[in-house]
Each structure stands twice: as structure tokens, then as C-alpha cells.
Amino acid sequence: MSSISDIQLLIQNIEYSSPTIYSGLEILLVLNGQLAIETDQSLHQLSEDHLFVINRNQPYEIRGITKNTVLKISIPDSFLSHFYPEYRFYKFNLFSPEISRGKENTITELRKLLAEISIIHFRKEEGYKLEMSERVSKILLILIRRFKDNETTEVDIDMEDSRLKAIISFIEQHYDEPLTLEEVANRFYLSFSYFSRYFKKQLGIGFTRYIMNVRLKHSLQDLIYTKDSITYIALKNGFPNAKSFTNLFKEVYGETPFSYREKNAKEQVNLVEDYLLDDKETFLSSPDILIKLRLLMEKGEDSKTISDVETNFESITIDIQSPKRQKLNHPDNVLMVGELRELQKESIRNQILLAKDELQIKYIGIHKLLSGRSIAPEVETDELIPTTSPYYNSDEAIEFLKSHHLSLYVQVRYNQIAQEEDAYLEKLHRFIKHCVILFGYNYVESWCIMVTDVLDNTSNNKEFETFYLKIYKMLKSNIPNLRIGLFLPFSFKSSTINSQYNWVLHQSDHMDFIAFQANTHEVVDYKELGDTNFDLAKGFIKEKTEKLKRFLKHNYIEKPLHLISWNTISGNTRYTNGTFFRGALVFNDSFSVSDQIEMLGFWINTETHEKSLDINSIPLEGMEMFHYFNGKRPTFFAISFLNRLRGNIIASGPLYIMTENELGYQLVLMNTTITNPFLSIEDTFLQKLMKEIRLTIKGIPRGEYQIKKFIFDKDHGALYKMWWEYNSQHGIDKEIIDYITRLSYPSLEIFDETIAGEWSFYSYLSANAIHFFEIRKAFF
């Protein structure tokens, strides 16, 4: 078995290195200067910091262009075969200047690891071999998981046949030994006759001839690139003697090994200075080398990378040359604030304006319009004209909304006024009349009134129907264009409504819209957080919306739908684990219903949500935009990315959405992951949910483009993680709060790209991450 001691580390100054081959992997890192490497397939020019991998048995030669210093690590075939026998079926395509975008951090990590190996080997401190083994293993894992490609073979090997792969790998490792068909058959627990038939059927060639061909292939390289004798080459590659080697060689190539060598041999000239890394004089007399290695290590520390993490790989190709264009819909967004009087608070106003600018908020949702603190109680007075108005607070709040082109979305909860519905209708009539006079008819008719009895479904259904029709006729008689609708409790499991709401099916002419909710707690019991059925929440929002639409259509009802209350896998950060990042879930769920609903609802923040329902724990029925302070929750950013999409959809799939607009293109990559929220505290578990995507876009017009890339994930935009990290059991002050708020934003990268009809890059997405790209054509 090969060990870490068999791995060779060299510092080289290369003027010229003769054509050679190596039965393993060689990794070159240019520390300074320039050189050219010519392989049997290509010619590459390397400069400072460039990385290059030379594959096993790949002929190559090197020419120095300028004075240079090169770090080379040689990993023998025996070392690789022991830990990863399958590597013989692959090659590793790594020339750092030609890597696809998205792998820059991976290259930085490789440079760092090579530098660390060099320093560790030079110092030889206690346990240094263990440290080196760890780094070498990481390098090999990166190559395997990030740069692996199928190696071409002379026969067509079924890569899905694990037994055949093992047999071929065994032959490749032992071709230089006197292998027999019976020996190999016994090793793989096959009978002599079956193995002979199986081998020939799978590869189309007999066992003995296949081994001879493998031996010939390796001998060719020795003939060209070494000065070893013909006899030595024959024995080295498994032939019993020079005569059998010569006879087979003449049969296949039509000439002797000697004549073949004369025609094809490469001149052996080496102008290379090699320095082993345990040569302390070399290091001490070359401080620049140590400085360079230290800089590479520091860059690796500064650059976050997931290159050594096991990920799920997806390769996606999008062809936009003849795209099917689909209209992109954006529902109107409703921001719930509880009571109207909340709008008098400066903090609430600031949050509303932030949401309006970035989230396409058009409505502000309130309840208790005529009760609570919004409208003052009437008082007795002998004044001919009262000097006070019960609408003082509400007038100030509504004036703020009107000045910012925001309308009211009023929830009328029947259970709260059932005992005095006539008095309520009279108060509502006076209030609406007052608002028409004060704010204008056109503004008031832009409002929506949603009537609900969902908080107390024990009330008499006939009484509720009567009340709804009264309020509908009263308001419509005065303001015909005012939109009035009903909240309809619809069961996901039964795909129907409770019988007490059957009257709705006969009164649809008196409804301008139908509101509903879609909360995943209908299928996931959050009180049983050990439940493994969290995957039932996948696609729940879309599926419930589609079920409701089918139900209404079956009953000949076609009305706009308002999803005013909804939730993804978890919403109550006090009840489930708050560290569970769900950005992509929020984005994907809202996008999935964007073409089926007219309006989408949100709560403004945690505090008003709790206060409005008089509870101390957020129910699993809403999506908050802000926390107690002005920190933006992930929902805010997820919806802002959705709102940022413009133009027409030209490609979409489970992992991506691409649009085209007047400025160019937009691309969203998502890693939507449903899992138990409590598992999100386990970093090892989350790493296995990461996804590596290699995306190729075909059909982009040639030209220069500016690319903006936003990364929104658990490290960029997750408010709760920052809150947890910088919090203290003794409390936090304004400075800490402001710092957390500043940190909790998606990251932004900007780069230029020359695209020649096709663009490929890599993205590494953690669980529920969003990568959002703006691809803008540079016009001159």
C-alpha cells in the first residue's frame, strides 16, 4: 500500500522539461513567472497563480517562457488506486484560467491547500504526516467532486455495470503481472466459462487480447518517452519476454518496437532545477517563496468555499434561441398592520414605505375598523358643531395612505359584531360617507372589504349570510365599484367547504372576490416536531390553490382569489427552530401561485401580528416582513426578488426561472429544501442538502454583458442567524441592533462577461438559497 511518503513535493525552476509521463496525478501551481505545457491534446500557457492538473499516463513537456518557480505535487497511481479505484475511469480537467465562472473559490481553496502542504512538509512538526494526509485527501475530493470527467477508453465500457468497472480497474492496476483468466474469474467469484463469455459479451473482445492491448498501450509511452531497453519495457509491462512483445507489436502496428521508437522517440533534454521541500537552505535563501505561500493561505482563509463539501450535482442546459414566452404575473400585495391606529407610528410608516418601494405593496390590511383605538367613542356635548371628531386618528392614518397611493383592505369579522350588527352597519355607513367627503369618491372606491366569520364558525350560517348581503348591498348602493368579497374556509383534505357555507355557492353574484388561506399546518403537525412528514408541505400552497379553483369551477364560480394568509414549512420562530432558512421556499411558493391569484397577503412585523390577535406567540398563519425592530426578515427579500423579475418567462424548471426584458435577462436559481426545521442547527446535515448546479445557457446574443449576482441564503440575508449570533442574555442595545440590521442583507457581486452565444457557470446553493442574476447587455 502506498503512503503519504510516496507523494513527492518539489519546487522547480523550469527552462525545459523533456516529454515524459507519470503513472499518477501531477498538480502544478505557478508561484511566479511563465511557462508553456504541451500535452498530447493541447497547449497551455501558465502564469503566476495558475493551476494545472496532468492526468495519469498523459504525455507532456514543459518550456519556460520567463524565469519561473513552480510548485509540483506528484500523487502516485498506487496511492489513488487504494482510496479511489474508480479514478482510472476518469480524468480531471483543471486549468484554472479556463474554469467556468462560479468555481473561483474552489481554485482559491486548492491553492491554499497546496501552500499548506508545502509549509507542513517543510516544518515537519509532530504529526505532520497526518496533517498532510488530510490536505491531500481534501485536494483529491475537490478534484473528484468538481473537475471529474469520463476518461476515453478503447472499448465501450458500461459505466453502470459495477462488476465490470471493478474488473477493468483490477486489470489496469495489475496489467504488468502474469494475469490469467482463471485467476481473475476466481477473484470476482465467477466460474471460468461464465467469466469468459461475460467479458467478451460486455467488451466485444476476449480477455487475453484485452490484457495484451492494455500492455501495448502502456509500452508505447515507454518507447516514446524513455530510453529503457526493449527487453526492460516488455517485462515492465507484463510480457513474459521481449520476443512475445515484439511479435504482438508487429502484428498490431506493422513494425518492430525498435523501428517505431526510431520514428517517434522524443529527445530527452531536461533543464530543470528541482528542490525538495525538506531542503531548508532552499527555503531560507528564497524568502519570496515562503511569502508567496503565506499569501495563498491567507487568500484561502478570506474566501468562503464549500468545495470540500459533499453536494448534490445538477447539470442544466437552457436553450433560449426559440423560447416559449409566458407572461409574468405579479399579484397585488397586501400588508396587514392590525388596527388602523398603528399607522400613526413612525416605525410602522417607515416599514410600510420600505415595503411599498420594493415589494409592490398596494393595500394595507386592517381589522377593527370601527372599534379599538382607531375611532374615539362618541361623547355628549352641547356644542352646535362639535370641536372634536371621533375620526381624528383614522383620518390621519388614511391621509398617510392616500398620500402614498395605498388603499385599505378592511377585514370585517362577523363574530366580533354579531350581537350589534345593525348598529355596526349604521356606524360603517357614516364612516364611509365621512371618508368620501374627506378623501374623495375615487379613493374610497379603490378599497377592498373582506367579510369573514372564520374565527367563530359556530354562528348561525343564515345569520351570517343575511349580514353579508346587508353589508354588500349597503356599500354597493353608495359606491358601486367598491370591491367586496368573502373569506371562504376551504379544506385541503376534503377538497370542499363546510356545509354551513353552502349558501356561498348560490350568492356568488354578490361577491367581487374570494379570500382564502393556505397554511402548511393543515398537513404538518408542528406540535410533533419529531414528525418525519415535513415533505408533505412541498408544493402545498400551489396544490391548495389549484384545489380551490377546481372546486369553484365545478360550482360554476369564477372569481379572483385573494391568498391573504399563508405559510411555508415553518413560520413561528418561537415555536419551531428559528434558524431554519426558508428563502427559496417563500419565493417558490409565492411564484407558483402568482398566475392564479389576484392578491397575496403579509403581516408587517412580529409585534403587530401578536398584538392584533392578543397572544404571545405568533400563530402559523402569516408571513412577517419585519422583526420587532426594523430588521428585514427573509420573507422581505424573497418577495423583493420575485417583484424584481420583469418581462416574459422564457424558461423555467424546479431549480430555475429565466426571464427576458428590455434590459436583457434575469435568472433565478433555487435550492428548495423541505426538512424538519430543528435539523437546521446541524451544519453537517445542512451541508448534505447543498446543491451544485452547472448551468449552460444557449442562444444569448453575442456581446458584452454586465452581470449582477445576488446571493440570498443562511449567511446572506438571514436575520435570525445574525440575531442569534450577536444577542446576549443581558440584552442588546441600539448599536447592536443596527449592526445586525446592516449585516442581514443578500450579498452582491458584479462582473463583466463576454458571451459568444453560450454561457456556462457553476453555482453552489445551500439549503433554500436563492441566486439571482441580472444579465444586462452593454449597449454602445
Residue 315 lies in a domain: no
Taking alpha carbons only, the member of 717, 719, 711, 721 closest to residue 765 is 711
Grid cell in block for residue 710 = 445576488
Give the residue, 216 or 606, on which the prediction is more confident: 216
Residues 680 and 687: beta-carbon distance below 8 Å: no
93 and 27 fall within a common domain:
yes
Residue found by looking up cell 394595507 in the block: 364
Q: Is residue 737 part of a domain?
A: yes
- For residue 621, the model assigns a pLDDT of 64
Q: Is the pLDDT of residue 102 over 80?
A: yes
Same domain, 296 and 220: no
The per-residue pLDDT for 382 is: 59
Same domain for 289 and 235? no
Residues 365 and 289 in one domain: no
Same domain for 129 and 250? no
Higher pLDDT, 560 or 372: 560
Residue 453 lies in a domain: yes
CB-CB neighbours of 574 under 10 Å = 10
Q: How many domains does the chain have?
A: 3
Average pLDDT of the residues of the chain: 85
Q: What proportion of the chain, given as a percentage, has pLDDT over 90?
A: 41
| SS3 state of residue 247 | helix
Lowest average pLDDT, out of 267-276, 366-375, 634-643, goes to 267-276
Q: How many CB atoms lie within 10 A of CB 259?
A: 13
Domain that holds residue 736: 332-377+384-525+532-777
SS3 312: strand
Instruction: Decide if pLDDT at 460 tops 70.
Output: no
Q: Identify whether the C-beta of residue 537 lies closer than 8 Å to the C-beta of residue 569.
A: yes
C-alpha to C-alpha distance for 526 and 522, rounded to whole angstroms: 10
Confidence of residue 757 (pLDDT cuts 50, 70, 90): confident
The predicted-structure confidence for 311-345, as pLDDT tens digits, reads as follows 688 889 999 987 788 999 999 999 999 888 889 89
Q: What is the CATH number of the domain that holds 687?
A: 3.20.20.80
Amino acid 456: pLDDT: 47
504 and 392 in one domain?
yes
Of 748, 692, 768, 740, residue with least CA distance to 316: 692
Burial 482-520 (b: 16+ CB within 10 A, else e): bbbbbbbebeeeeeebeebbeebeeeeebbbbbbbbbbb
306 vs 126: which has the higher pLDDT: 126
CATH code of the domain covering residue 115: 2.60.120.10
b/e map 192-230, b = 16+ CB within 10 Å: eeebbebbeebbeeebeebbbebbbebbbbbbbbbeeeb
Least confident of 299-308, 364-373, 474-483, 628-637: 299-308
Q: Which of 169-173, 190-194, 568-572 has the highest mean pLDDT?
A: 190-194
pLDDT at 285 over 70: no
Q: What are phi and psi of 616, to 5 degrees?
A: -110, 15
Kindly state whether residue 519 falls inside one of the protein's structural domains: yes
Q: What average pLDDT does this structure show over 20-41?
A: 88
What residues pair up with 313 in beta bridges, in sequence order? 692
pLDDT at 601: 95
The pLDDT value given to residue 597: 97
3-state secondary structure of 613: coil
Please determine, for residue 200, whether its predicted confidence score (pLDDT) is greater than 90. no
Asked whether residue 326 is domain-assigned, the answer is: no
- What is the Cα–Cα distance from 723 to 720, expressed in whole angstroms? 5
Q: Is the pLDDT at 160 greater than 70, yes or no?
A: no
End-to-end CA distance of the chain: 62
Could you count the other beta carbons within 10 Å of the beta carbon of residue 699? 15
Is residue 489 situated within a structural domain?
Answer: yes
Question: 3-state class of 231 per DSSP?
Answer: helix
Q: What's the rounded mean pLDDT across residues 655-662?
A: 95
Kind and range of the H or E run holding 500: none
Pick the residue with more confidence: 574 or 471?
471
How far from 671 is each of 101, 366, 587, 760, 769, CA to CA, in Å?
19, 35, 11, 19, 6
The β-bridge relationship of strands 770-777 and 664-670 is: antiparallel
Nearest to 599 by CA among 340, 339, 364, 355: 364
290 dihedral zone (left: phi>0; alpha: psi -120 to 50; beta): alpha
Give pLDDT tens digits for 218-254: 887 788 777 888 888 888 888 888 888 888 888 888 8
In this structure, are 421 and 388 located in the same domain?
yes
Which carries the bigger pLDDT value, residue 122 or residue 137? 137
Q: Same structural domain for residues 214 and 131?
A: no
Nearest to 412 by CA among 362, 455, 461: 455
CB atoms within 10 A of CB 754: 10
Q: What is the pLDDT of residue 277?
A: 62
pLDDT of residue 399: 95
- Pairing state of beta strands 691-698 and 312-319? parallel
Torsions phi, psi of 770, nearest 5? -125, 130
Instruction: CATH number of the domain at 191, please.
Output: 1.10.10.60
Measured CA angle at 151 (ends 36, 759), to 5 deg: 70
Supply the pTM of this predicted model: 0.76
> 20: helix, coil or strand?
strand
Residue 327 lies in a domain: no
The last residue of one of the domains, among 239, 264, 289, is: 264
- Specify the pLDDT at position 278: 60
Distance CA 606, CA 631 (A): 11
pLDDT of residue 304: 57
Asked if residue 279 and residue 255 are part of one domain, the reply reads: no
Least confident of 183-192, 248-257, 452-461: 452-461
Give the single-character DSSP code of 700: P
600/616 Cα distance (integer angstroms): 25
Rounded Cα–Cα distance for residues 74 and 70 (Å): 13
Q: Which pLDDT score is estimated for 284?
A: 46
Helices 207-225 and 257-264 pack at an angle, to 10 degrees, of: 40
- Angle formed at CA 454 by CA 450 and CA 458, multiple of 5 degrees: 135
Three-class SS of 341-362: HHHHCHHHHHHHHHHHHHHCEE
The answer on 703 and 627 residing in a single domain is: yes
Residue pair 565/514 in contact by the 8 Å Cβ criterion: no
Instruction: Please indicate, yes or no, whether residues 133 and 229 belong to a single structural domain of this protein.
Output: no
Residue 706 has pLDDT above 90, yes or no: yes
Contact indicator for 432, 478 with CB cutoff of 8 Å:
yes
- Asked if residue 109 belongs to a domain, the reply is yes
Structure-model confidence comparison of residues 441 and 373, the more confident one: 441
**Mean pLDDT of the region 701-729:** 87
23 and 64 fall within a common domain: yes
Q: Is the dihedral of CA 439, 441, 447, 449 positive or negative?
A: positive
Lowest mean per-residue pLDDT among 473-487, 616-630, 752-766: 616-630
